[in-house]
Structure 1
Amino acid sequence: MALGLLRHASELYAKSSLSFHLRFLGHDISLLSALLAIFVASRVLKLLNGLRAVSSLPGYRVPFQPLAPPGALIPTSWWNPGLYAHWKWKDTLYKDFQNENFSVVPFLLGAPSIYTSNIDVMRQVVSGGEQKTSFQKSPAASRVLIKWGQNLVGAWETGMWRKHRRVMGPAFNNKLHEMVWAETLNTYRQMETVEGWHGKDVVEIPVMQKLTTKLALLIIAKCGFGFTVDCSAPPTGPDGSMTVQEALRVLTDSYIVGLMCPDWVRYLPGFGRIREAFKAFSTFMRKEIEARTAEVRNEEQSAEERMDAFTMLVRANEQETGKLRLSEQEVIGNVFILLFAGHETTANTICATLALLALHQDIQNEVVEQIVTVVGYDRDPAYSDYSDLDKVLSAFYEGLRLFPAAHIMIREAAEDTVLHLPNPVGQEGTTPLPIQKGTQVIVDMVGIQYNPRYFDDPETFRPSRWYGESNESEAFSAFSLGPRACIGRKFATTEAVVFLTMLLREWRVEPLLKEGESRRGWRERVLGSPILGLATAVGEAPVRFVRRKQGGA
């Protein structure tokens, strides 16, 4: 009897417990369903708001903003444009929409954006300078540029930019460019000795980037910072653990982890080299700023004689007071940008130019003919020859057009405004496109440089398209436009003209082919898949130098 009652009680408990759990589970499912419905509704609302922000301009509707994590970390695919769509899809990207502008509206994470390959639209959003405009550099996108401190390139507000420009501007003058010319000439001569070119008729260069990177770093070290260095002894950090060249290489090669990710990522296992590079470079910069500031403050003769950009930057900053004066961290930020922009972009473009000339021997011969006509064989080129070596400069410009160093520029609408989109070729006028505050405008420099509106046969390497153009022409849009155009443009072109003149006068540059490889295969390997980091770089470029005979090829 007692056993029966116990069994009955147990069954009742089991039934009630099951009923309770089913009710509880049902409640959980209802809650999850409600939360899911709220989430989906919020994402639909985000998508609708994003479409409204860009006035429903046709384009991509994707989960993430492609230029910020996590979209930037995911490979380019049909559902995620990522960092590289504007290069990988450059032949069809704008044709698909039959427009020079398209929108990208994320429904999970990120701000809506408009991509443009039109120079007139570019001019509307990047030509701010002293004038207040409706667009500013995106603070979020600029974080990668101000990792070391606020600087001229990363400044997004007009007042902030004006402050940095006031201090940086005096550093880039004609005396500096004369110094760049002379030091590039000397560095080329040193390179001949250190690299063992003397007495050889053929020299094989397995990776041209290593040579151009060494050149550019040495020039920025000498002319940018006034260091006494040569090809065999690049500048080293004070602790001796890592050279500045190696630290820069590590930082630029790993820019996504080193510059885009939070600082704590560097302290995870496997990131020791990045951590060491940050430490070495930071220590190096602080020591140099401290030493150069002391020289300027004490009015030492050595400081007065220095014409390098770094000393002039420090001197200009010492003359400022109050809010116009840069902090130490801001000086460091400008130093990093000067070092990075002064060597990475120039090195990559010189390398791309040489690779293209190696593939186009007829154009290379045309450039060499001008070099021999202007300079001859019995003297070194002089700074006064710069304007007469326009075919050398045009080859560099064309290399920069095909592989633009700054492949995108990001601006953000600081207020509700209207973009005026030029109508298709053959139709006059513009079409207004209202956009909302916070919308990003991505200036696609690859799209602009390959836009047939501006360049006939845009895929073709044709330096002659630049012949006769003024050096200040806005056709050279790869350096940006307006007051905020690249401050180091003449620095870079001066360095490039000297190096290319010296090298091409003495050597014919050819592709260095693998066994069984065709020139077409070499072209695809080297130029087909450039690396789009903070600057554009072609693939590893193996070339052969063949010594020229005077008066012939």
Structure 2
Amino acid sequence: MASPLALALLLPPTLLFLSSVWCLFSNYLIARNVGLPIIIVPISPENPLWMILARHILPIVQYIPFGNGYFSRFCHVGWEFDEKSKSHLELGDAFMFVTPGKNWVYLCDADAIGDINRRERQGEFARPVELLAMLDVFGPNLSTVHGQDWQRQRKCTAATFTEHTNAVVWAESLRQGKQMLEYWKLAGSAGVRSTAKDVRTLALDVLVKAGFGKSFDFEGSGKMRKSNGPLSYRDALGLILHNAIPIFALGPRLLQRLSFVPGLGRLGEATVQFKKYMVDMYEESKQNPQIRGAQGNLLTSLVQASVEDKLISQEEVLGNMFVFNFAGHDTTAHTLAYTFTLLAAHPEVQDWMAEEINYVVEGDDPLQWSYDLFPKLNRTLAVLYETVRLYDPLLSIVKGTENQPARLKIGEKEVVIPAHTRVILNLNALHSHPRYWGDDGLEWNPSRWIQVAPGDGPSIDREQLVIPVAKAFIPWGEGMRACPGKKFAQVEHVAAMTAIFRDHYVVPVNQAGENDAQARSRVLDVVKDTGMLLLLQMLHPERAALEWRKRA
């Protein structure tokens, strides 16, 4: 007979198991009435423990016969990148995950997705803000509120992303790009393995300039300044962004209490120091209206909305400043890392882009290049579009039904999405489906975005950037919840490419016995070795050593 202690230990996991089985069965009964293909997923994609452990457990259990292999295909974070449009070609434009948590509808239909984005403004298919509650670490913000609070904050924050801000981003990205290139050239023929780290520094420096009006020179390899004193603005923010997961999991207050744990002390200090900097700058801008008008950065714009317009609280200013930096840092950095590595493997695209840059830009000093040049760099922007099409840092956009079911037309069929259901706009599938992108949809080909208008004169003057299927390309989202920093990101990427590739090009460093073609193929394998951590990123970018050379 089992002892009372053994029973006490077995009771909680047994009850949890039975509860999960019951919820899974109940959700299956609900899903069966929808009429979409069903995939049974015994662990909820929202389970935080499974999100962390799945990659380590799946190699062990992938051969267990469960649901025709669906367990190993769909039960891990990042399966959308692995599948691309394959699952939708197999199962249809929409299918359902039945889980012990909520049911999930995965959607790859451009018209239906457009309908969802339009109807969100009417209160349907709202973004489930509870999934982003972790972003509240410094205060309520645009990502974690809804309803009237969202509308109020949106009004304030939209005003911060102006053409003035974009001009600042342009100039700082050119400066940082020039300095980063000079650092990379020092490596010579040995090449640079720190590309992914270095672009994080560039992205951070641009954010600090545009967000706080503080300027720093580029420092290579992502190394923090050595200092025994308090962290600087940039270093505190950089440490926070680089360690976002433990901050979200533990929160700033618990981090400070765990300062005795190796590695957490400095991180706890960074959260305290960063908030202090934001509060000090808030108070400084609040007391001095001339600072707000003179600097015109994101922080001072939000302070104006708080102090003069009385639309946003101090806590909301701090919360939005953090979430803007968080949302704009890793997404930009990972995209830049992908772009540089892909360009190294595609010299023909480098030449094509450099031809445009040299045609548009005059003068040798990037610091003198006007923001007015940005709209003319269509090929350079096309390189960004093609990169985020295939390597969007966000695998999907999550919407959902709340207390009421909602009708949705998917292709020629109308279905009723039950209440309390996640609706997933599957970006990886949408951005690669042959219906929208043709048979070469999995190939990285930036020229697909460029069309030449009829007329006289050089064809490069008549080139236009055209989105092949507008509704099938939404890397920054669409509708009322679209990313407000969309143009910010585009300007930063194009400026960095312009500063670096005008006079230089990049090649993979050949390993022993390799020719150039083999080296390029190996670098593409590094790109394909991609997975989902906090965002989609290359798992081992340091394996691609890149050499920078001056154009003849």
TM-score by length of 1: 0.81
* Alignment RMSD (CA, Å): 3.6
Q: CA deviation at 1:92?
A: 2.9
Q: CA deviation at 1:269?
A: 10
Q: CA deviation at 1:368?
A: 0.7
In structure 2, how many angstroms separate the alpha carbons of the residues matched to 1:537 and 1:37?
34
State the partner residue of 2:442.
459
State the partner residue of 1:100.
93
User: CA offsets, 1:515-541, max 9 Å, x none?
Assistant: 456336523542112232333222415
Q: Is this contact kept in 1: 2:102–2:422, CA < 8 A? A: yes
1:1-150 matched pairs, under 5 angstroms: 42-43=22-23, 45-52=25-32, 55-75=34-54, 77=58, 78-79=70-71, 81-90=75-84, 92-97=86-91, 99-106=92-99, 109-127=100-118, 131-150=121-140
In structure 2, how many angstroms separate the alpha carbons of the residues matched to 1:270 and 1:75?
30
Match of 2:273 among 283, 286, 299: 283
**Structure 1 residues 101 and 504, CA gap change in structure 2 (3 angstroms):** same
Task: Count how many residue pairs are aligned between Structure 1 and Structure 2.
Answer: 505
* Alignment of 1:496 onto 2:511: no
SS at match of 2:45: coil
Match of 2:209 among 222, 225, 228: 222
1:251-270 matched pairs, under 5 angstroms: 251-252=240-241, 255-260=244-249
Q: CA deviation at 1:334?
A: 0.9
User: CA offsets, 1:113-148, max 9 Å, x none?
Assistant: 11112233332334466x322122213312233333
Counterpart code for 1:204: G
Aligned-residue identity in percent:
24
Q: Is this contact kept in 1: 2:169–2:210, CA < 8 A? A: yes
Counterpart code for 2:194: V
User: CA offsets, 1:498-529, max 9 Å, x none?
Assistant: 11011111211112344456336523542112
**Structure 1 residues 122 and 513, CA gap change in structure 2 (3 angstroms):** farther
State the partner residue of 1:11.
none
The worse-fitting range, judged by mean Cα deviation, of 378-387 and 368-377 is 378-387
In structure 1, how many angstroms separate the alpha carbons of the residues matched to 2:360 and 2:20?
69
Match of 2:379 among 385, 391, 395: 391
In structure 2, how many angstroms separate the alpha carbons of the residues matched to 1:158 and 1:526?
43
The worse-fitting range, judged by mean Cα deviation, of 201-210 and 59-68 is 201-210
In structure 1, how many angstroms separate the alpha carbons of the residues matched to 2:372 and 2:149?
36
* Alignment of 1:547 onto 2:549: yes
* Alignment of 1:212 onto 2:212: no
1:467-478 matched pairs, under 5 angstroms: 467=450, 468-469=464-465, 476-478=473-475
SS at match of 2:316: helix
Match of 1:154 among 125, 132, 144: 144
Match of 2:392 among 393, 404, 412: 404
In structure 2, how many angstroms separate the alpha carbons of the residues matched to 1:39 and 1:303?
55
Q: CA deviation at 1:385?
A: 1.1
**Structure 1 residues 388 and 250, CA gap change in structure 2 (3 angstroms):** same
In structure 1, how many angstroms separate the alpha carbons of the residues matched to 2:103 and 2:321?
33
Counterpart code for 1:546: W
User: CA offsets, 1:191-215, max 9 Å, x none?
Assistant: 355x2747x8757211211221111
User: CA offsets, 1:331-371, max 9 Å, x none?
Assistant: 22211111112221111111211111111111111111111
SS at match of 2:39: strand
In structure 2, how many angstroms separate the alpha carbons of the residues matched to 1:191 and 1:37?
53
In structure 2, how many angstroms separate the alpha carbons of the residues matched to 1:101 and 1:68?
23
1:511-522 matched pairs, under 5 angstroms: 511-516=508-513, 518-519=518-519, 522=522
Q: CA deviation at 1:43?
A: 4.3
User: CA offsets, 1:250-299, max 9 Å, x none?
Assistant: 555554443256789856799643464244124312x2332223233323
User: CA offsets, 1:74-115, max 9 Å, x none?
Assistant: 425442613121122335322331x12111111xx3111111
Counterpart code for 2:154: R
**Structure 1 residues 47 and 185, CA gap change in structure 2 (3 angstroms):** closer
1:321-332 matched pairs, under 5 angstroms: 321=310, 324-326=311-313, 328-332=314-318
State the partner residue of 2:339.
353
Q: CA deviation at 1:408?
A: 1.8
State the partner residue of 1:534.
534
Counterpart code for 1:484: R
In structure 2, how many angstroms separate the alpha carbons of the residues matched to 1:434 and 1:356?
42
Q: CA deviation at 1:544?
A: 2.7
In structure 2, how many angstroms separate the alpha carbons of the residues matched to 1:256 and 1:145?
11
User: CA offsets, 1:300-334, max 9 Å, x none?
Assistant: 5333210211111111222233xx423x3322221
Match of 1:439 among 399, 416, 421: 421
TM-score by length of 2: 0.81
Q: CA deviation at 1:190?
A: 3.6
The worse-fitting range, judged by mean Cα deviation, of 407-416 and 358-367 is 407-416
Q: Is this contact kept in 2: 1:345–1:405, CA < 8 A? A: yes
In structure 2, how many angstroms separate the alpha carbons of the residues matched to 1:395 and 1:260?
35
Q: CA deviation at 1:434?
A: 0.6
State the partner residue of 2:174.
185
**Structure 1 residues 240 and 91, CA gap change in structure 2 (3 angstroms):** farther
Q: Is this contact kept in 1: 2:157–2:302, CA < 8 A? A: yes
Q: Is this contact kept in 1: 2:23–2:101, CA < 8 A? A: no
